[in-house]
Structure 1
């Protein structure tokens, strides 16, 4: 009897020790893996060009320095905006510097930064000003996702530091397939949900377009927009499409 009991206990201990270990990842680790499969440090030293809504953007990053450009035509002349470590500047036809009120500088800077932010995701989500929290897991369209909430510290978080984001990161591929965010701006406040599509890699960097949705149910919470999307309760508002993407890597080994 004693022998049988010892054998049984040994079998149970052996079975427990041989169970596959479940890897528990933190929000920080999940985002790091997502950045890795999307291009990793290549983003940090690159020149990315693309067209978005009849405007040309040039996103230049090099060893912590950034230089974002936007070009578009206004009244048959070209407007050239530059946002860099040195601030914002606007010129006409590349020569005539335009004096811009501080309030408009903030508005233009925020607009440029928003475009580059979404175009570069998930790069940037490991910045010092970013705070991340793992909310758990959620299924969307029969796939399982890590659900991560992102907020920003006031210092270093930019003009829109009060915005809140939620990212759905595929558990297998670690790619961001969905995101949601709340905004509170002078011209209104609300929430948006985005579904990534048209994935492509250009010179090792991942880019996607988005279906941009809104909810008409004011009682819906930001963290519940994934469920609302799954239940076809969101309305397609617009498409976010990047065109003519070109990538040049700088001193990348």
Structure 2
């Protein structure tokens, strides 16, 4: 089911691609090459300096005005989480094929008269990243396998206060056969981290509170050869 969803979102294109976009004042460049990856986040700090953060299979570093700077363990962890998280959500469900993913089908929900497969995803501790204890639920259209909704519970294993969110895709567009979406971000005080699968029912009942929007601007997708 997940493989069909990845294919429906343009996974074969993403396997060897360069995806660029702007997100909340930062420019991202995501490169994939048959399992190898290189993610770059570029920002300008309060002093007007260009900050470039790079995450790949085997490296993680920060440059300020072209010079590599030393990072504390806390700074490295924060940078890794930020860059990886934005990249992960931007290309969903592409990363759901990673070896650390544990997926379980929970059933079928009808949302706004459309049936969706409901799939829970958790992560193994090895290879699952700093937030491997977070829990996700995805809803895939039973015909198109498009991912129109997702819920997640965070802060389940660390110092962060636990919380949860539900996202609804909108402004869906296809760019070079890759499905890109923005998301409305909701919360509901009656939901708990252990009951996020109930979010879809709350959406149908119009009881959710919108807290933010996740929007990708100036999205561009090219093949690896053209985008180097």
Same fold at TM > 0.5? yes
Instruction: State whether structure 2 residue 196 is matched by structure 1 residue 196.
Output: no
Q: Does 2:58 align with 1:86? A: yes
**Number of equivalent positions:** 222
Q: How far off is 1:217 after superposition?
A: 2.2
Deviation at 1:251, TM superposition (A): 5.4
Match 2:15 to one of 44, 49, 60: 44
> 1:240 maps to what in 2?
214
Per the alignment, residue 99 of structure 1 pairs with 70
Aligned to 1:214: 187
Give ranges in structure 1 of 5+ residues lacking alignment.
1-29
RMSD in angstroms over aligned alpha carbons?
1.5
Give the counterpart of 2:90 among 95, 119, 122.
119
Structure 2: how far apart are the matches of 1:188 and 1:69?
A: 28
Query: Aligned partners of 1:81, 1:206: CA distance in 2, in Å?
Result: 26
- SS of the residue corresponding to residue 248 of structure 1 reads strand
Does the aligned pair in 1 maintain the 2:164–2:192 contact within 8 Å?
A: no
- Return closer, same or farther for 1:212/1:219 CA change in 2, 3 Å cut-off: closer
TM-score normalised per structure 2? 0.93
- Please say if 1:141 is aligned against 2:112: yes
Which 4+ stretches in 1 moved above 6 angstroms? none
Q: Aligned partners of 1:217 and 1:179: how far apart in 2?
A: 17
Structure 2 contact 172–181 (Cα < 8 Å) conserved: yes
CA distance in 2, matches of 1:34, 1:120: 12
Residues 120-174 of structure 1 show CA distances to partners (whole Å, capped at 9, x for unaligned) of 1111111211111110000111111000000111111111110110001011111
TM-score, scaled relative to structure 1: 0.84
Q: Distance between the aligned counterparts of 2:35 and 2:53, measured in 1? A: 20
Cα drift, residue 219 of structure 1: 4.9
Offset from partner CA, 1:70-123 (integer Å, 9 cap, x none):
001102111110011122100111x22111101111111111101000111111
1:124 counterpart SS class = helix
Partner of 2:128: 157
Output aligned runs, 1:9-24, within 5 Å. none
8 Å CA contact retained: 2:191, 2:198? no
Partner-residue secondary structure (3-state), 1:154: coil
Per-residue CA distance 1:16-51 (angstroms, 9 max, x = gap)? xxxxxxxxxxxxxx1111111111221111110000
Alignment partners' CA distance in 2, 1:37 and 1:153 = 25
Flag the structure with larger Rg.
Answer: 1
- Alignment partners' CA distance in 1, 2:144 and 2:34: 28
More divergent stretch after superposition (180-189 vs 145-154)? 180-189
Matched with 1:231 is 205
Partner Cα distance (2:16, 2:83) in 1 = 19
Where does structure 2 lack aligned partners over 5 or more consecutive residues? none
